[in-house]
Structures are given as C-alpha cells and as structure tokens.
Amino acid sequence: AQSVAQPEDQVNVAEGNPLTVKCTYSVSGNPYLFWYVQYPNRGLQFLLKYITGDNLVKGSYGFEAEFNKSQTSFHLKKPSALVSDSALYFCAVRVPYSGAGSYQLTFGKGTKLSVIP
C-alpha cells in the first residue's frame, strides 16, 4: 500500500523568507509525486509533479520540489514566501499503472501554511 506523510500540521513563515513544506512517501515501485494547494472552500490546484527525470521540479507560482529517492522525500520549497501563499498544501503519490486500483492518488493529511506579513 502507498502512503504519504506530512509531518507538520502547520508551518509559519515570515513574508519574504524561504519556506519548506515537508513530505515523505512510501510506495512499492517508482512513485509519481504531486503537490496541490487548496484555498478555503475550493478544490485543489495543481502546483507541480515529479514523474521521472530531474530530481528538482519547478512548478506554478514560484514553487519547486526536490525528489530524494534515498530519503523518500519530496519537500515543497519557495525562495521567498508571499502572504498570498497562505493556504493548505497537500502532497500526494501514486504508482505507474499496473492494474486495478493503481490509479489511486493517496494524499497526505495536509499542511497549513501561514505567511506572516
């Protein structure tokens, strides 16, 4: 079974400072990894994904994430946080299609990011 851990329920960071939201995963096989952002009462917006290739993935709104296979991590980062980045962030994982059920996307419990002006 695949699983995702987001060890921090909340991350606070001052505006202009770098931010990191942590994610570790557990899967059998090569993972597809995703980050999504959710604003209150809204659906999920895609930020970035890792499928294969370069371990550093650049995504929307200046976010990036680094795939680290040895540490089974996929931390989300941004060099300079904005107040508008304040939202709920979800890390998710799936494995390449290999039969019934493997399209399933498994989410972490989410991390609330608060950027303080």
Q: Are 59 and 10 in contact (CB under 8 A)?
A: no
How do 10-14 and 111-116 pair as beta strands? parallel
Among 17, 46, 71, 80, binds other proteins (CB under 8 A): 46
Among 58, 104, 114, 116, binds other proteins (CB under 8 A): 104
CA distance 65 to 12: 18
Size, binding site for other proteins by CB under 8 A: 22
Name 42's Cβ contacts closer than 8 Å, sequence gap at least 6. none
> Nearest distance from residue 67's CB to other proteins, in Å?
15
Phi, psi of 107 (to 5 degrees): -100, 150
* Site for other proteins, residues 6 to 45, rule: CB under 8 A: 32, 34, 36, 41-45
> Nearest distance from residue 77's CB to other proteins, in Å?
20
Enter the DSSP assignment of 31.
P
* Site for other proteins, residues 58 to 87, rule: CB under 8 A: none
Name the residues that contact other proteins, by CB under 8 A: 32, 34, 36, 41-46, 49, 51, 90, 100-101, 103-110
